[in-house]
Structure 1
Amino acid sequence: MAENTSDRRPPFGVLLVTGSQTHQENYARGFAADSRCRLIGLTDEPDVPLRRKSLNLQLAAELNVPLLEDFAVAIVRDDVDIVCVCCEPERRSRVVAAAAAAGRHVYIDKPMTTSVDSARQMVDAIQRAGVRSQMFSLVRSPVAQRAKEVVDSGRLGTLYSLSCELMFAKGIAGTADLSQPRQEEATAGNFTFLDSKRELFCVGLYPLVLYQWLTGAAYETVYGTTGNYFFREHQQNNVEDFSSLLLRMTNGVEGTIFVGRAGWSSHPSHGVHQIRLTGSEGSILLDAYRPRLEIFSDAPPFQQPARPHPEDPMGFWSSTVQENGIAPKESWWPVASPQQSDMACFVDCIEQDRESDVSALVGARAVEAILAGYRSAAAGQPVSTEAFPPEPAGSL
């Protein structure tokens, strides 16, 4: 095993795994914007398809960093401290495990994996190596920070329930065949496709992390439904574009989530994002777009693309949205903005030698709840989750 980098000091060398048409387009620039970091290069496993190799080369060129062909050599370079992993979720576990075994801290795209076993293997590898880990989430968003302040203040009394509605406003909606209801399956093959994703897997991850972050508790039971209301692409790939879950947490708190993708024209900005907190002394509804600045002008209104991007009809990636000439929505502007990027928060954890509040274990628990949701939706009844070991003391 390579030397552990926990005693290093800035600047931290960041190695990128996987390139364009992934969230690496955003994460890499987030790390590059932090003066405590420098990008070392971009690498990937040697047997990736030619299309992926081309996309890796594309982002490396955009960032002006070398493309490092040998993944095994790249992760043990002396100048690498952090490995930012954005490969497909089906192979994230082994990539993260290899980086952790090399003594490197790992920043992981969400959701972490597609199975409970691979999530456990990832968590075990990280804990065995003694490195820091963090999975991307939305807990740095202003609405999540407001929710945390309310819960921690105690002004709601004993917390009884949490509810979150999160609907992404991307893609050209209205193409689903509503006469063809889809029956959920207990186990899934693929979770992501070129033209669609499982939206419980993709979007549901965010509130499932949020609830752990707010309460410090894990999940006991999940009662889920999935549906198809918006997109032909999801139906053709036999995956859902909407899901709802009823959850019971280990501390007795009840939770509900309503998540999915509803199309560019469904919302003046990025989509509905609301959190309701209910306790013994009251309840509060928090909206990511309240307060907001509404702009009325003679500027042309937002127009969704006449034709979807052939490689990204849902608008997943910044690069393809730009290539398709989709202008940003300008009529609603949230007043608040994140105080710090998620990447900067992870660098703080490394500098201060402390566990992240969204460690790999938090991500693993979210994966288990997601997979339990699919089992529940297929069976039409609540199911129990598998118990992950407790988080190390002081990490939440």
Structure 2
Amino acid sequence: MPATPATTGGELAPELDRAKLLAARYKAAEARPYLASALYALTIVPTSQVRTMAVDRHWRCYVAPAFVAATAIEELAGVWIHEAAHLLRDHHGRAEYLSATDQRDRLRINIAQDCEINDDLLTDGLRLPEGRMEPGLFGLPDGGLFEEYLPGIPASSPHRLDCGSGAHGVPAPWDLGQGGSDSTSGLSPVEAEALRRHTAEAVRAHHRSRGSVPAGWRRWAEQTLEPVVDWRKALTGAVREAAWAGGAVDYTYRRPSRRTPVLGGRVVLPSLRRPLPRVAVVVDTSGSMGDDDLAAALAEISGVLREVGIGGNRVAVLACDADVQAVARVTAVDQVELAGGGGTDMTVGIRAALAAPEPPQIVVVLTDGHTPWPDEPVRCRLIVALIGPDAPQPPAWAETVRITPA
């Protein structure tokens, strides 16, 4: 039955050949049964605002009726799997860990992500429309992740594509956001994560029973079910996001606005500045923490703060077991005194950090996790860096990174 009720922005969608689109999805699910749940979880939203097909982070698939009409079913099946792959591989979530400069270039991000997906799909024998992105177009090897491809994608690429906020993470004009009608409400983040794990388990089971799953999907499934996180990149991303979350919040005459010259020097305009935040690092020095691991992890955190541009007297380090043993503002990791060795209560260290005359905007807690926590969220950004594979999870409102010192 052609035509469809769901549209974006209140527009009247052109007639969609829904039977053809659904036949393509069925063909994709039949050929790759381990992806069936993900394919059928996508909500179809017709719109002329996209050129081909695109997804948002809520698992809605925006479809151009003209593209469906002009594309063969075999190629549409490949595009279905391509768009589902953006969401299964959490491309929008991974993009949040890129540098601020890279995050602003969503075209390069999207091209790199397409390269990550398409080499797997083409190796798997799937058909895709002309104009697809492949690593070879940029002199890059197959089998990489988009983060590895991104530096090799030129900034002035002539390619034009947009797989939506479910890929690069930047909201598109056609996005329905968190709303939508009952038929287009999409998935919640919890439902999406459950679907990723279910699909990863299906990939693993299919490969064990038939041995026919491509290497790229097997690698993704193992990473999803038994993740190995690049904790340095995750911590850098979390601190950078916290550091810049406030935006340009104040004016200064130290560096006049770039618009001043156009006024002939008669008026000097102030410019906006982003004041760097104050950071406190609460270090668990209880008896369960090994000195070598502590020193290595603290050195890594120091490197993260330097990379983000936070240092000098803007970083306070508090050594804490069941009480705060030492407090210092440091410029180098070798200035830190790791005093302690008794019981454990990071709540004490967090409260001491927040009680400072100039309280921090970011608190990083370095601990093995065997500690009480505040009963409710604190009034700043709290990032917990957990040491050890068996460290218990802190409260859900705390951002968590698991550290594996070398």
**Bucket of the pairwise TM-score, normalised by the shorter protein:** under 0.3
Higher helix share: 2
Select the structure that is richer in strand: 1
Structure number with larger C-alpha Rg: 2
* Structure-1-length-normalised TM-score: 0.23
